[in-house]
Chains A and B, each alone.
Chain A
Amino acid sequence: MLLAYRVPREPSTPRIAIWRRLKRIGVAQLGDGLVALPQDARTQEQLEWVAEQVDEAGGRSTLWSAQALSQAQERAVIAELAAARGVEYAAVVARVESLTDAERVELARGLRVARRELRAIERRDHFPPVEREQARQAVAELAARARATDALVEQS
């Protein structure tokens, strides 16, 4: 599914809000003002509301149900999306690793943040890369460590 859109450069606030929203739902940027998502009921609704936001910002939008003529090109777009999410998952793993020597309170806070980030990435992850499992694993281990630290405090 494609959204072709054009938003006036000024004012910049609605333009940036639209850009942020597209980023949050994990679109593939195919060109200036052209983004793609795999089509299902949820993504279609998400793009429809972005289109509405574009129209309200005085811009122009059209939604397309589209099919790439070349399978290789379609696979390239999918690979690009998977790679982008992969980088985000890797950042979660890096955050977890930075907590190696963390104390109990810092550990609990780090776990909350890591879980929230992981959820946000999973929501916009349409083609899960291998890094997803690694990030889930890292967060699960962090949770186990946080529990162990808590148990230690209760015993003392």
Chain B
Amino acid sequence: MKWATRSGVHIDRASSAWLIARFLDPGAEFVFVADLSEVPDGATPFDMRGVDFGHHGGDCTFETLLRRHDVVDPVLWRIGEIIHEADIEDEKFDAPEGPGLDALLRGLSMTQPDEEILRLTRPMFDGLYEYHRRALLGRQGHA
């Protein structure tokens, strides 16, 4: 499936693209546009104003994607808290990783094109997922 988002990706769009490609739509393709009117036919827009997969009810786009797809994986919801704090910074969650991730993504957006940011951040989010998966193992008592 084709997905479209605004160019100049930051933390919410980079992490949402990772979430889509790894968990929601393994065959996902991404296009970057300047405006909603440029979204190609058949592409699903995300993290843009006035679309379903955007900020809603205090959630960032990553959280909206989790909610809309009825995702229950606690690791992804934990990452959602981190993305929320990196993106919205409202101290709703205790996520000290947030400001650091925000700084990394901002720096990447100054030096790399959008496609490259998605490619570079994929192993980073994979790693973040594995780190928090292990951290949650003890609490759940099973692998």
Within the complex, the shortest CB–CB distance from A53 to chain B, in Å, comes to 7
- Chain B residues near A52 (CB-CB < 8 A): 49-50, 54-55
Chain A residues numbered 22-72 whose CB sits less than 8 Å from any CB in chain B: 24, 41, 45, 48-49, 51-53, 55-56
Please pick, from A17, A55, A120, A123, the residue contacting B58 in the complex, using a CB distance under 8 A. A17
Chain B residues numbered 67-109 whose CB sits less than 8 Å from any CB in chain A: 89-91, 99
Determine if B90 and A21 form an interchain contact, defined as CB atoms under 8 angstroms apart. yes
Interface of A is mostly: helix
Please pick, from A24, A48, A120, the residue contacting B49 in the complex, using a CB distance under 8 A. A48
B interface size (C-beta, 8 A) = 13
A interface size (C-beta, 8 A) = 15
Determine if A53 and B90 form an interchain contact, defined as CB atoms under 8 angstroms apart. no
Determine if A53 and B55 form an interchain contact, defined as CB atoms under 8 angstroms apart. yes
- Chain B residues near A49 (CB-CB < 8 A): 49, 55
Q: Digit string of A118-156 for contact with B (CB within 8 Å is 1, else 0)?
A: 011001000000000000000000000000000000000
B6: nearest residue on chain A (CB-CB)?
A: A45
Bound complex: CA A55 to CA B50 (Å): 9
A53: nearest residue on chain B (CB-CB)?
A: B55
Within the complex, the shortest CB–CB distance from A58 to chain B, in Å, comes to 13
A41-B8 CB under 8 A given contacts A24-B90, A48-B49, A52-B50? yes
Within the complex, the shortest CB–CB distance from B117 to chain A, in Å, comes to 14
Any A CB within 8 A of the CB of B57: yes
9 closest residue pairs by CB, A with B: A49-B55, A52-B49, A48-B49, A52-B55, A41-B8, A123-B89, A24-B90, A52-B54, A56-B56
